[in-house]
A and B are shown apart, each in its own frame.
Chain A
Amino acid sequence: MSAFYRAVNWNRQKYIFDGLLAATVLGYLGLFISLSLGQDSNATLETALIRGLGSGALVLLTVILAVGPLARLDRRFVPLLYNRRHLGVAMFLLALGHASFAVIQFHALGDVNPVVSLLTGGADFHDPATFPFEWLGLAGLVILALMAATSHDFWLATLTAPVWKGLHMLVYPAYVVLVGHVALGSLQQPGPPLPTLLLIASAALVLGLQLFAGWRERGLDRQQASVAAEGWIAVCDASEIREGRARMALVSGERIAVFRYEGRISCVSNVCQHQNGPLGEGKIVDGCITCPWHGYQYLPDSGQSPPPFTEKIPTFNVRVIEGRVYVDPRPNLPGTRVEPALINPGGPRRSA
């Protein structure tokens, strides 16, 4: 396809999203700092800023982790999902600000290198009251840095999706160590353990959402892929698919996307050749399946990108019998043309 990389593929929605994000982050910091200074007469601006940046980063991280399962449970969260990388980079910048100010405030005043000072501060791993919680923060920050630095699509292509996804799954260990960092840090401060309690509640929310969404999806995949006679798989009724849209099902170890268009049904592998975007979440535009991620297009009957482009995805043989869609689970070679199945054989074709 004729894509070339830009820093950000800006559109109106992204401008609005980023504007709202920046306003929310600045509003949160302003509120946090003024409340901290107002409530605690001993608090300094530096300490309030360090805590504001750190807590802001953790709140954003919690939102980021909740967005995935929420979007799977309710499509209204999908726009948040598609802008999740901007949330991630904003979160990393907050965490970096937090770490930088903390190192300057607590470790840069002596004549030892500040990072060496941070690593060698009196560490006792057996006692929560003196556990070096800064190490956990540093470990989390390193992971966040790696993820933020590789968040551009270029890295998805360069590393390949499985490696990239594996790398970005490190967000879970990062979350665990950062929760530990904040919990131990706040336990080591005088005062009520309110941050720790809030932290436990948010971690439980994230875990609960992940488990619930995973459980729901397993049910769906199993339900959709009931095996029919001759090993063909009954996916759904043709009437359940909206015009120009698809229904997805798990077949032969990967999802397929069954599209309905102009009275016909075609089936392709759900995985976009560009960067594994979910084609079944896209729609038919100008007669082509259009990937929701970056707009790569494929002809629904052959899985080929329209000329002059050369991308090809595997196709599947498909039949409609008494309104029910059946798919042969053996994929055809990428780009193999398959005669679309007519929804009403002999009836008039409906157009989009």
Chain B
Amino acid sequence: MTPLFASWFVWLTGGYLLLGLGFAIPFAFRLVNRLDPVAAHGTRPFRLLIIPGATLLWPLLLRRVLRRDTMPPTERTAHRNIQ
């Protein structure tokens, strides 16, 4: 890997994660309450624990917040699909 490519890679990854962290903190303490009623009563340690995942997956969560989702998606299984 050339040094130029490597530094671009590091900068882009760092930028993505920094943006993610900027989103993850308000997400874990406030926004998550809108997306998932079970999380709305989540404890403080639970909220701290989801910050790393929200930092990594922030585009998905941001999309759900903007779509004003109020529940996690309901799952399809083979038995439910048959009906």
A276 touches B77 (CB 8 A): yes
A244 to B5 alpha-carbon distance, docked (Å): 62
Given A149-B53, A269-B77, does the pair A3, B10 have CB atoms closer than 8 Å?
no
B41 touches A4 (CB 8 A): yes
CB-contact partner of B83 in A6, A116, A160, A314, under 8 A: A314
State the total of A-B contacts with C-beta under 8 angstroms.
104
Number of A residues near B (Cβ < 8 Å) is 39
Interface string of B33-50 (1 = CB under 8 A from A): 001101111110110111
A120 touches B35 (CB 8 A): no
Q: Show 11 A/B contacts (Cβ-Cβ < 8 Å), sorted by A.
A: A5-B42, A5-B43, A6-B46, A119-B9, A149-B52, A149-B53, A152-B50, A154-B42, A158-B35, A269-B80, A314-B83
CB-contact partner of B75 in A5, A150, A276, under 8 A: A276
B53 touches A150 (CB 8 A): yes
A256 to B41 alpha-carbon distance, docked (Å): 33
B78 touches A252 (CB 8 A): yes
Chain B residues, Cβ within 8 Å of A271: 77, 79
A6 to B45 alpha-carbon distance, docked (Å): 7
Chain B residues, Cβ within 8 Å of A161: 75
A228 at the interface (CB under 8 A from B): no
A28 to B2 alpha-carbon distance, docked (Å): 39
B7 touches A113 (CB 8 A): yes
A197 at the interface (CB under 8 A from B): no
A204 at the interface (CB under 8 A from B): no
Interface residues in A151-197 by Cβ distance below 8 A to B read: 152, 154-155, 157-158, 160-162
In this complex, what residue of B is CB-closest to A135? B1
Instruction: Give the interface of B toward A (CB within 8 A).
Output: 1-3, 6-7, 9-10, 35-36, 38-43, 45-46, 48-50, 52-53, 55-57, 61, 72-73, 75, 77-80, 82-83
Given A116-B7, A314-B79, A331-B79, does the pair A160, B52 have CB atoms closer than 8 Å?
no
Interface string of A103-126 (1 = CB under 8 A from B): 000000000110110011001000
A113 touches B10 (CB 8 A): yes
In this complex, what residue of B is CB-closest to A336? B83
CB-contact partner of B38 in A155, A157, A330, A334, under 8 A: A157
Given A5-B42, A158-B36, does the pair A120, B6 have CB atoms closer than 8 Å?
yes
CB-contact partner of A7 in B43, B72, B77, under 8 A: B43
Given contacts A148-B52, A158-B35, 7 further A-B contacts (CB under 8 A): A4-B41, A6-B46, A8-B45, A115-B10, A157-B38, A314-B80, A331-B80
